[in-house]
Amino acid sequence: MDIAKGCREILAQEGVNPASSIDFEVNGEVITLTLDYIIDTYMQASNESQLVFYSALKKSLEAKEMGIEKFFEGMGQLLLMTHLSKKFNV
C-alpha cells in the first residue's frame, strides 16, 4: 500500500486540496507549509511512523471536533518544532 497515496485519497474524499497551505508564525516570521509537503515529509520516516500518520489522519475524520484541518495544523507544528530543535541543538 502506498501510504502517501492513501493520505491524498482521504483528502480527495473530503474535498480538500492537498496543495492547500497552512501559515505558521515562528519568531515573527510566517512559514507556509502545504498539506502535500507535510505528507511528503512524514513519508520520509520509517514505515511504522508512516502507518501511525495514516492511522491518525483517518482518526481525525472520526473526531468531529478535530477534523483534517486541525490534524494538519498539529502535524505542521510538530515538523516546525522538530526543525527548530535541530537548528538550535536543544
pLDDT tens-digit map of 22-74: 999 888 889 999 999 999 999 999 999 999 999 999 998 888 777 888 999 99
**2-14 residue pLDDT tens:** 999 999 999 999 9
Provide the domain limits for residue 48.
3-87
Total domains, the chain: 1
CA dist 62 → 48, 58, 65, 67, 74 (Å): 21, 7, 9, 8, 16
Q: Is 64 exposed, middle or buried (0-12, 13-18, 19+ CB in 10 A)?
A: exposed
Please give the torsion angle defined by the CA atoms of residues 78, 55, 38 and 50, in that order, rounded to the nearest 10 degrees: 90
The answer to whether 55 and 70 are in contact (CB under 8 A) is: no
Query: What pLDDT does 86 receive?
Result: 65
